[in-house]
């Protein structure tokens, strides 16, 4: 037992040491992290605490709760949540844990005027205030008016809803100023989600963040899908900000416009997708007609819950065009899923080594991600 604890401690030291060593190094010195970074359960526990509890984490799209009383439930690092639009037209994120004896209050999604716990029928207003506590209300030592479902810090940016579980993160939007300027003409907040999916992949959550955010593999793994649209050779890194990093996935000049584009878009903006990450675990690609996105939740060190979706600029899009966009997205996702399962097997081998990263335009975002993690974890 003591030996095991000692070796876990050594692993943690080795990982944090590797992160410390990269600070300040340029893209020309970029090198991959040791395999334990992607396989250690102890390191995952630290990430859950310092990233998924302490930073802004995407939980969905604001259109999912467009009317007063609309709600959906979700969970983040073991914390059951209700995302709801309250009577004052605000989106709130409530704890989905009953204040009586701790049952999960509601499941699924819908529209309601109150949340009723199934166990003993305590009921709550949609803003979390306790409404009824049957047979207990008369007790002198229990003040119904002071009892409520706690709520967590919530911010909406670009039509995405983010939560901060420990209520200590600095406001998100100012950290995304540079990115907001880059993508404002796409009007992403008006895009409507017409496809969503959820599955568990056999990979560490960071491998998937990195995979989505590097263009080095576009012309290999996605040779039959994305290579025609966003080939590796046209990728162009842009400088990261405090709360984001990303690159332009440029299109070949001859590629035709797909779908409805906002008139604000410049010629250059029509000719590319902006690939961006709002770390730790929200990655997206915005193009004139759609935004595709993943918001990841670590499961184990070797598995990740992949929530994903597509929102369209044209909510009346023809069914065949909608289906074509979904097919392309899901095919590329399947290609990544297969590759990342292979990667995770390799990362657990005793003979795995680290290696150099490609120039910034192709793998610079992996380096940006490491630096973000160094800032938040050390």
Among residues 106 and 366, whose Cβ is nearest to Fe ion? Answer: 366
Closest to ligand FES by CB, 118 or 346: 118
List all residues 6 or more positions away from 101 whose beta carbon is below 8 Å from its beta carbon: 119, 120
For residue 133 the two structure tokens come to 């506590």
**Closest CB 116 distance from ligand FES, rounded Å:** 9
Residue from 58, 98, 161, 343 binding ligand FES (CB under 6 A):
98
Q: How many chain residues bind Fe ion (CB under 5 A)? A: 1
Does the protein bind ligand FES through residue 117 (CB under 6 A)?
yes
Torsions phi, psi for 281 (to 5 deg): -140, 20
236 binds ligand FES (CB under 6 A): no
The smaller minimum CB distance to ligand FES, of residues 6 and 142, is found at: 142
Cα distance between residue 26 and residue 19, in whole Å: 14
Which residue from 199, 229, 228, 236 is spatially nearest to 336, judged by alpha carbons?
A: 199
Closest Cα partner for 23 from 377, 374, 376, 301? 374
CB nearer to ligand FES: give 129 or 187: 129
Tokens of 47: 């990430």
Q: What are the tokens at 359?
A: 């120039």
Report the residue from 63, 100, 148, 184 that binds ligand FES according to the rule CB under 6 A: 100
Please select the residue that binds ligand FES; options are 22, 77, 80, 103, rule is CB under 6 A.
103
Which of Fe ion, ligand FES, none lies near 336, with the C-beta cut-off 5 to 8 A by kind? Fe ion
List the one residue from 20, 21, 101, 233 that touches ligand FES (CB under 6 A).
101
Residue 336 contacts Fe ion per CB under 5 A:
yes
Tokens 């190094």, residue?
25
- Separation of alpha carbons 154 and 21, rounded Å: 34
Residues 72, 115, 122, 238: which binds ligand FES (CB under 6 A)?
122
* Cβ pair 40, 301 in contact under 8 A: yes
> Which DSSP state fits 234?
G
Q: How far is the CB of 68 from Fe ion (least distance, A)?
A: 39
In the complex, minimum distance from the CB of residue 334 to Fe ion, in angstroms, rounded to a whole number = 10
* Shortest Å, Cβ 270 to ligand FES: 53
Q: How far is the CB of 165 from ligand FES (least distance, A)?
A: 21
Pairing of strands 79-85, 70-76: antiparallel
Angle in degrees, 0-180, between the axes of helices 360-377 and 205-212, rounded to the nearest 10: 140
Q: Which residues pair with 132 in a beta bridge?
A: 123
Residues that bind Fe ion (CB under 5 A): 336
Residues that bind ligand FES (CB under 6 A): 98, 100-101, 103, 117, 119-120, 122
């Amino acid at each position: 037992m003591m030996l095991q604890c000692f070796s876990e401690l050594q692993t943690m030291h080795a990982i944090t040491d590797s992160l410390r060593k990269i600070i300040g190094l340029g893209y020309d010195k970029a090198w991959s992290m040791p395999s334990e970074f992607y396989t250690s359960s102890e390191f995952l526990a630290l990430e859950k605490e310092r990233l998924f509890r302490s930073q802004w984490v995407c939980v969905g799209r604001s259109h999912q709760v467009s009317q007063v009383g609309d709600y959906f439930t979700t969970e983040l690092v073991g914390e059951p949540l209700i995302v709801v639009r309250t009577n004052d037209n605000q989106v709130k994120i409530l704890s989905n844990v009953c204040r009586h004896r701790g049952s999960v209050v509601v499941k699924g999604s819908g529209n309601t005027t109150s949340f009723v716990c199934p166990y003993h029928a305590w009921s709550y207003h949609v803003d979390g205030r306790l409404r009824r506590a049957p047979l207990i209300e008369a007790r002198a030592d229990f003040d119904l008016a002071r009892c409520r479902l706690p709520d967590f810090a919530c911010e909406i940016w670009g039509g995405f809803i983010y939560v901060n579980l420990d209520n200590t993160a600095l406001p998100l939007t100012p950290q995304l100023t540079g990115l907001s300027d880059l993508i404002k003409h796409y009007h992403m907040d008006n895009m409507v989600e017409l496809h969503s999916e959820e599955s568990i992949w056999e990979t560490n959550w960071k491998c998937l963040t990195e995979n989505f955010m590097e263009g080095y593999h576009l012309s290999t793994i996605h040779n039959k899908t994305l290579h025609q649209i966003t080939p590796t050779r046209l990728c162009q890194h842009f400088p990261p900000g405090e709360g984001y990093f990303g690159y332009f996935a440029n299109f070949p000049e001859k590629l035709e416009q797909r779908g409805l584009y906002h008139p604000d878009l410049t010629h250059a903006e029509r000719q590319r997708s902006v690939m961006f990450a709002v770390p730790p675990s929200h990655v997206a690609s915005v193009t004139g007609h759609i935004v595709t996105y993943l918001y990841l939740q670590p499961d184990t060190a070797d598995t990740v819950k992949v929530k994903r979706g597509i929102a369209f600029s044209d909510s009346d899009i023809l069914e065949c065009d909608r289906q074509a966009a979904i097919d392309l997205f899901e095919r590329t996702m399947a290609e990544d899923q297969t590759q990342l399962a292979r990667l995770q097997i390799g990362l657990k081998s005793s003979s795995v080594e680290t290696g150099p990263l490609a120039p910034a335009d192709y793998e610079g975002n992996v380096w940006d991600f490491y630096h973000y993690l160094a800032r938040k974890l050390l």
